[in-house]
Amino acid sequence: MIVFDLACRKAGHVFEIWFGSSSDYEDQKARGLVMCPYCGSTDVDKAVMAPNVAAKGNRRSDPVPVPTQEAVPSAVAAAANLPSPEQFKAMVSKLAEVQAKMLEGSDYVGSRFADEARSMHLGEQDARPIHGQTSAEEAKALIEEGIPVAPLLLPVRPPNSEN
């Protein structure tokens, strides 16, 4: 898993999202699946992230305090009555737990999701819980055919995949 700080261009919201890998982020962004949790805008980009690097030995011991990136979103969130970054992380963590519980006993079918769901709906194979990947267009087609599908709230790393 990898975590990115993302920024909403529409309203300036900054938030953190976990992805299975960097390529998962790029793929979901290209498909319009990455959105601001505060306002729903899909016009988001990676925010500037400062690496945690130790100071050089010849640096002043009393650095000038600079507002951190975390302080700005907290102030904005408090003013707008939104959850703090810590509260938001806790909520996302709880969502991840709930989603993991929901997927227990579900078969990961990868990119065969639409074909498998359609085949079960038509009675060509036994019904069972599945999850996988499909395009937005294919998901819409499944719904229009009366096949019950729903998007997962958080990305799922395929079994046996490396980050």
State the pLDDT at residue 112: 94
Tell me: the pLDDT tens digits for 19-50? 888 888 888 889 888 888 888 888 888 887 65
Centroid of chain to Cα 93: 11
Instruction: Evaluate if residue 78 carries a pLDDT over 70.
Output: no
Encoding tokens for residue 49?
A: 């992230």
State the pLDDT at residue 64: 52
Instruction: Evaluate if residue 139 carries a pLDDT over 80.
Output: yes
State the pLDDT at residue 113: 94
Which of 124, 123, 121 has its CA nearest to residue 149? 121
Tell me: the pLDDT tens digits for 107-125? 999 999 999 999 999 999 9
How does the average pLDDT of the chain come out, rounded?
81
pLDDT-wise least confident of 1-5, 21-25, 88-92, 145-149? 1-5
Quote the CA–CA distance of 147 and 150 in Å, as a whole number: 10
Rounded mean pLDDT of 141-161? Answer: 86
Per-domain boundaries in the chain: 1-49
Domain 1-49 has CATH 2.20.28: yes
Which of 155, 159, 160 has its CA nearest to residue 4? 155
pTM: 0.48
State the pLDDT at residue 49: 64
The CA-based angle 118-123-127, given to 5 degrees, is 75
How many CA atoms within 13 Å lie on the side-chain side of 102?
14
Contacts 24+ apart (CB under 8 A), 38-45: 38/8, 38/11, 38/13, 38/82, 39/8, 39/10, 39/11, 39/13, 41/8, 41/9, 41/10, 41/11, 43/8, 43/9, 43/10, 44/6, 44/7, 44/8, 44/9, 45/6, 45/7, 45/9
Is 111 in contact with 132 (CB distance < 8 Å)?
Answer: yes
